[in-house]
């Protein structure tokens, strides 16, 4: 297929750069992108617009995967630069993001929405000037007791949580493929079901 006519999608994972944050709750979005890149035989070897990126194809679609390296509060600049450079329509931008308002093991695909208090999402909305873009939310559960959510999201997942996390990432990966292959409605119908 001609490169110029291929429909292009930008899939952005949210997380913090560096080994210290690799397995933290806030990096669930990065974890999903790593899983998806592995599935497509891609590696994050390039840098552009303050992000690690890679690209490939799924069917007739060109897919750009991006992991911004600016930390949460400023990653909207990276996403905005990439969306502008590749001329991505907001409906073709999908953000994968951790969500403390969803229980661990839950995922939810939405076509649009606010930041839900997430600094990374707030930064993206501010830089794009719209909240009308899809997001795939990965549940990480709420902090216990009176723990500050800002501290909680920087904790690693507990060993007994890992099987549940892995299962939810596998389902989110399937959802991501459905979104790209069959569209957002089909993906929402499949993915947005309660976890038993």
Has residue 55 been placed in a domain? yes
Task: Supply the pTM of this predicted model.
Answer: 0.93
What is the spatial distance between Cα 104 and Cα 87, in angstroms, rounded to a whole number? 34
The residues pairing with 95 across neighbouring beta strands, listed in sequence order, are 12, 135
Q: Is 26 a catalytic residue?
A: yes
> What is the DSSP secondary-structure string of 92-158?
GEEEEEEETTS-TT-EEEESS---TT-HHHHHHHHHHT---S-EEEEE--PPSTT--HHHHTTSBPP
The residues pairing with 94 across neighbouring beta strands, listed in sequence order, are 11
pLDDT in tens, 112-130: 999 888 888 999 999 999 9
What is the spatial distance between Cα 164 and Cα 135, in angstroms, rounded to a whole number? 21
What is the spatial distance between Cα 81 and Cα 83, in angstroms, rounded to a whole number? 6
Has residue 177 been placed in a domain? yes
Domain count, the chain: 1
Has residue 36 been placed in a domain? yes
Q: Which residue has the higher pLDDT, 73 or 3?
A: 73
Per cent of the chain over pLDDT 90 is 87
- Greatest mean pLDDT among 4-8, 33-37, 113-117, 147-151 lies in 33-37
Structure tokens at 102: 């969803």
Active-site entry in 23, 26, 84, 127? 26
Structural domain of 151? 3-191
Mean pLDDT of 7-31: 95
Has residue 157 been placed in a domain? yes
Has residue 196 been placed in a domain? no
CATH assignment of the domain containing 83: 3.40.50.1470
Cβ atoms of 9 and 36 within 8 Å: the answer is no
């Amino acid at each position: 297929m001609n490169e110029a006519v291929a429909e292009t999608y930008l899939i952005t994972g949210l997380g913090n750069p560096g080994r210290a944050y690799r397995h933290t709750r806030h990096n669930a979005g990065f974890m999903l992108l790593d899983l998806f890149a592995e599935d497509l035989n891609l590696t994050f070897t390039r840098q552009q617009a303050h992000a690690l990126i890679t690209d490939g194809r799924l069917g007739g679609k060109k897919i750009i995967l991006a992991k911004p390296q600016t930390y949460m509060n400023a990653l909207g600049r990276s996403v905005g630069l990439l969306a502008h450079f590749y001329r991505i329509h907001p409906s073709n931008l999908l953000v994968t993001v951790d969500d403390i308002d969803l229980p661990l093991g839950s995922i939810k695909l939405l076509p649009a929405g606010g930041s839900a208090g997430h600094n990374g999402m707030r930064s993206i909305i501010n830089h794009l000037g719209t909240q009308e873009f899809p997001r795939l939310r990965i549940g990480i559960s709420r902090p216990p007791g009176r723990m500050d959510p800002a501290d909680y999201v920087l904790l690693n997942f507990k060993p007994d949580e890992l099987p549940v996390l892995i299962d939810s990432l596998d389902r989110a990966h399937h959802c991501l493929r459905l979104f790209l292959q069959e569209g957002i409605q089909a993906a929402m119908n499949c993915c947005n079901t309660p976890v038993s």
